[in-house]
Amino acid sequence: MIILFMNKIFLVDYNCFIYRRLFMKHIYRCRVCGKFVEVSMHCGIHADLFLDSAKRIRLSKLLSGLLRHYPWEIGVNVNRNGWVDIDDLVHGIKTRWRNKELYQWVTKEHIIAIAELDPKGRFEIKGNLIRARYGHSIDVRINYEIYYPDTLYHGTSIDKLKSILRDGLKPMKRCFVHATTSIENALETGRRHGKPVVLRIDVDCLKKHNIPVYKATKDIYLIPYVPRECIVYD
Ligand SMILES: [Zn+2]
């Protein structure tokens, strides 16, 4: 595996990193305060198991897919800012999704619990509406704050390295290039696509090119395009 860090390329043993797998905890509901929590004790007593880890991962993936890429598969309306009515979403999943028989247990509260506790801030809720916070391939307008962090990383796979260093980073099927302040997150992303490579993005270079950097969550940033000269490489 190649890691690009501090202007240098490091070749490191593929197995020397402990990767975070896609793992999600069970969700419990506290019998006292009513909150959704990831611990089995809350407010001093045992909380009720509300959604087990396997179902949570499955529904979370489906929500990401529907809200980012294919809402029409279940006939829900997405407004221009990406919002979808949660009741419509539940109804659509249970009546129109191709594997709907796997999701007959889904309620509005399951969706709210998943959104509230998502470890990467994938979802945002406002009243009875939900949207994906980032990652869309469908055209939506979300008013992100422009913010240039000190360091940004982009995770990809080794087979894409050559074209990236030639052409820069392009959004491909999505609306933005995704970058992160967390090298671990970048590694995890790269790993999903093959042998991972972590590239460092020169944030000052983006500023000089007047390319905006949008803050989507506390550690995920979106960039329209990263020219090759803003990718650090010796
Ligand atoms: Zn509680």
Task: Give strand ranges (E) for the chain.
Answer: 2-5, 8-11, 27-29, 36-37, 41-42, 45-46, 48-51, 84-85, 123-126, 129-132, 145-146, 152-157, 177-180, 196-201, 214-215, 220-223
Residue with tokens 């197995």: 15
225 or 233, higher pLDDT:
225
Question: Phi, psi (5° rounding) for residue 3?
Answer: -120, 130
Q: How far is the CA of 46 from the centre of ligand 1 (A)?
A: 9
Q: How far is the CA of 36 from the centre of ligand 1 (A)?
A: 8
CA distances from 178 to 162, 173, 208 (A): 18, 12, 19
Q: How confident is the model at residue 175 (pLDDT cuts 50, 70, 90)?
A: confident
pLDDT at residue 66 above 60?
yes
Question: Phi, psi (5° rounding) for residue 177?
Answer: -75, 135
Nearest alpha-carbon partner for 65 in 49, 76, 51: 76
Strand, helix or coil for residue 11? strand
pLDDT at residue 4 above 60?
no
pLDDT at residue 233 above 80?
no
**CA–CA distance, 31 with 80 (Å, rounded to integer):** 38
Q: How far is the CA of 60 from the centre of ligand 1 (A)?
A: 23
Q: How far is the CA of 25 from the centre of ligand 1 (A)?
A: 17
Q: Do the Cβ atoms of 222 and 144 come closer than 8 Å?
A: yes
pLDDT at residue 14 above 80?
no
Structure tokens, 5:
């860090």
Question: How confident is the prediction for the chain on average, in pLDDT?
Answer: 90
Domain made up of 2-16+144-230: CATH architecture = Alpha-Beta Barrel (3.20)
Q: How far is the CA of 34 from the centre of ligand 1 (A)?
A: 6
Per-residue confidence (pLDDT) for residue 192, from 0 to 100: 86
Q: How far is the CA of 61 from the centre of ligand 1 (A)?
A: 27
Mean per-residue pLDDT for 181-208? 93
Q: How far is the CA of 45 from the centre of ligand 1 (A)?
A: 8
Residues of the chain with CATH 1.10.10.970: 52-142
**CA–CA distance, 47 with 76 (Å, rounded to integer):** 34
Q: How far is the CA of 169 from the centre of ligand 1 (A)?
A: 45
Mean per-residue pLDDT for 192-218? 95
Per-residue confidence (pLDDT) for residue 193, from 0 to 100: 84
pLDDT at residue 11 above 70?
no
Residues with CB under 5 A from ligand 1 (ion): 30, 32-33, 42-43
Q: How far is the CA of 44 from the centre of ligand 1 (A)?
A: 8
Residues of the chain with CATH 3.20.170.30: 2-16+144-230
pLDDT at residue 15 above 90?
no
Max CA pair span of the chain: 58
Q: What angle do CA 67, 71, 142 make, to 5 degrees?
A: 40
Nearest alpha-carbon partner for 64 in 137, 139, 145, 6: 137
Q: How far is the CA of 28 from the centre of ligand 1 (A)?
A: 10
Q: How far is the CA of 173 from the centre of ligand 1 (A)?
A: 42
Mean per-residue pLDDT for 48-71? 96
Q: How far is the CA of 33 from the centre of ligand 1 (A)?
A: 4
Q: How far is the CA of 113 from the centre of ligand 1 (A)?
A: 14
> Candidates 1.20.272.10, 3.40.190.10, 3.40.50.10490, 1.10.10.970; correct CATH number of 52-142?
1.10.10.970
